[in-house]
Amino acid sequence: MRFLYPDFRTKALTFSYDDGCCQDRRLTELFRKYGVRATFNLNSAFLGWKGPITHGGFTVPFDRSEPEEICELYRGFEVASHNATHYNMSKHTPETIREELWRDTSALRALTGQAVRGFAYPCGGFNHHSHEFLAEVGIAYARTGLSTFRFDLPQNFYYWCPTCHDRHPDLAELARRFIDGEPEELWLLYVWGHSFELDKNDIDRWENLEGHLRLLSGREDIWYAENIEICDYITACRACIYADGRLHNPTEREIFLTHKGKKYRLAPGETAEF
Ligand SMILES: [Zn+2]
């Protein structure tokens, strides 16, 4: 028996972008054009701040998204937390961590009208207690900045390592391998970055990313999903109970699977015999 993604797909593609800045306007349009889904990780206390950033030797615009545009700008995408003021979770006291998380998730929920259930670690900082604080405020997963260059799913969604950064030179080959492969397990291509980095002028980074989107979009075997959709679906698959040739789906999600060449959809609460 093998679990599949929704609609019996074998591959999923997701994107994750941090810091919520003016380049997200162009990026969300690009993602809409190609029909891909993404998650945007925002610092609510910095919304509306103005100013450039110098990053890796490049100075680029870094005006933060405006609070009043959040709803429209990120419509159709997941809005997730990146701490209210970008605090590094590995370096602060439990009190500060709780305050940062609570402040950010409350503010973003008020702006979007949606529960905030995703997180990206600011500065990639975490320790082995981070998941406890995240769970307290209803966060279901957290993304690290550690690239795996692989397509496998995380064992623990609170320490979810992406495949690679959008500007990494290996992404072209990874994307090609992802398209051409016929996976035995579920595959996930998880690309992360900062939209302000797309303005760096060493190469045309926007065109570079659009090239990847051209290749990866519009494919029937790929599920285009936000981070939280993947987390929720895989968590539901893992909650299914198998015993004595029967598989029970105790969750509220429909589960897709295949067994001996036959496809099964397991409705919420349903039990199938194999
Ligand atoms: Zn950041």
- Cα-to-centroid distance, 248 and ligand 1 (Å): 40
The single residue listed with the structure tokens 């970008």 is 86
- Cα-to-centroid distance, 1 and ligand 1 (Å): 40
Extract the tokens encoding 219: 């494919």
- Cα-to-centroid distance, 262 and ligand 1 (Å): 44
Please tell me the pTM assigned to this model. 0.97
- Cα-to-centroid distance, 91 and ligand 1 (Å): 15
- Cα-to-centroid distance, 53 and ligand 1 (Å): 12
- Cα-to-centroid distance, 243 and ligand 1 (Å): 44
- Cα-to-centroid distance, 52 and ligand 1 (Å): 15
- For the chain, give the number of residues: 274
Of 94, 130, 129, 103, nearest in space to 42 by CA: 103
The single residue listed with the structure tokens 């285009």 is 224
- Cα-to-centroid distance, 223 and ligand 1 (Å): 26
- Cα-to-centroid distance, 49 and ligand 1 (Å): 14
- Cα-to-centroid distance, 266 and ligand 1 (Å): 39
Domains of the chain: 11-238 (3.20.20.370), 240-274 (no CATH)
pLDDT in tens, the chain (274 residues): 999 999 999 999 999 999 999 999 999 999 999 999 999 999 999 999 999 999 999 999 999 999 999 999 999 999 999 999 999 999 889 999 999 999 999 999 999 999 999 999 999 999 889 999 999 999 999 999 999 999 999 999 999 999 999 999 999 999 999 999 999 999 999 999 999 999 999 999 999 999 999 999 999 999 999 999 999 999 999 999 999 999 999 999 999 999 999 999 999 999 999 8
Please answer whether residues 216 and 179 qualify as being in contact, where contact means their C-beta atoms are separated by less than 8 angstroms: yes
- Cα-to-centroid distance, 122 and ligand 1 (Å): 5
- Cα-to-centroid distance, 121 and ligand 1 (Å): 7
Contacts of 81 (CB under 8 A, 6+ apart): 41, 42, 101, 104, 105, 108, 116, 118, 119, 120, 139
Extract the tokens encoding 2: 């093998």
Of 255, 226, 19, 231, nearest in space to 140 by CA: 231
Residue 14: Cβ within 10 Å count: 26
